[in-house]
């Protein structure tokens, strides 16, 4: 009877532990993960990770970072570039672990959006988590990233995606401000002459 009670308690604790990983976990900063797998993405202000998911589309990102809707802006499944996003691999390779490299976001991205999220997905297997999402600092254009399996099986790096939202706030260029100021001085001068 004591053995059965011990088994029930063990099963309860295992279920509790598994359920703890089922909900997204938010971390301040650029490094996050569970004991099985960790990942980093520099210049991030917030990291959210979860097991058994992919953070595959705009709806997934909307749920993690509420507010205005997010827009899919690119995806890489290996080293390379698309319209806004570049991923370089310094050591290791996609589909394996450990792997690390550098990332870059084109200035034109920040001309289009005011916020950015990058997600990373790895192959599901005997470990957790399976997906990460980082909210980047505003106007971040480059940095480093990494992924590592610490224990368990599976979990090769699958893809890294970029999402954007919001409209950038445009600040007038100094030349435009000078021209506006000159125009105001001329108008004031003309008004004084007439008076």
Mean pLDDT, rounded, for 132-149: 96
Q: What percent of the chain has pLDDT over 90?
A: 58
Q: Is pLDDT above 60 for 8?
A: no
Residue 155: what pLDDT? 85
pLDDT band at 23 (very low <50, low <70, confident <90, very high): confident
Quote the strand ranges of the chain, DSSP E: 25-28, 31-33, 37-41, 44-50, 71-76, 80-81, 85-91, 99-105, 115-122, 131-136, 142-149, 157-165
- pLDDT surpasses 80 at 18: no
For tokens 């990942």, the residue is 39
pLDDT in tens, 49-82: 999 888 989 999 999 999 999 999 999 999 999 9
pLDDT tens, residue by residue, 96-122: 899 999 999 999 999 999 999 999 999
What's the confidence (pLDDT) of residue 89?
Answer: 97
Residue 29: phi and psi, rounded to 5, are 110, -170
Model pLDDT, residue 111: 96
pTM for the full model? Answer: 0.75
What is the arithmetic mean of pLDDT over 2-8? 41
Show Cβ contacts of residue 3 under 8 Å, excluding neighbours closer than 6 positions: none
156-179: pLDDT as tens digits: 999 999 999 998 765 556 665 565
185: pLDDT confidence band, cut at 50, 70 and 90? low
């Amino acid at each position: 009877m004591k053995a059965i009670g011990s088994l029930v308690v063990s099963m309860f604790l295992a279920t509790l532990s598994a359920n703890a990983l089922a909900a997204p976990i938010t971390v301040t900063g650029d490094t996050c993960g569970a004991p099985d797998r960790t990942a980093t993405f520099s210049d991030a202000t917030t990291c959210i990770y979860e097991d058994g998911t992919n953070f595959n589309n705009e709806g997934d990102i909307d749920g993690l970072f509420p507010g205005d809707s997010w827009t899919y802006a690119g995806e890489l499944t290996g080293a390379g570039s698309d319209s806004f996003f570049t991923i370089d691999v310094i050591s290791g390779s996609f589909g394996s672990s450990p792997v690390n490299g550098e990332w870059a976001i084109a200035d034109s991205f920040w001309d289009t959006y005011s916020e950015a999220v990058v997600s990373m997905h790895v192959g599901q297997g005997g470990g957790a988590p399976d997906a990460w999402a980082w909210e980047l600092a505003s106007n971040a254009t480059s940095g480093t990233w990494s992924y590592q399996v610490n224990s368990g099986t599976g979990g090769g790096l699958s893809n890294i995606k970029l999402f954007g939202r919001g409209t950038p706030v445009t600040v007038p260029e100094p030349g435009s401000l000078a021209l506006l100021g000159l125009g105001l001085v001329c108008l004031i001068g003309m008004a004084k002459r007439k008076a």
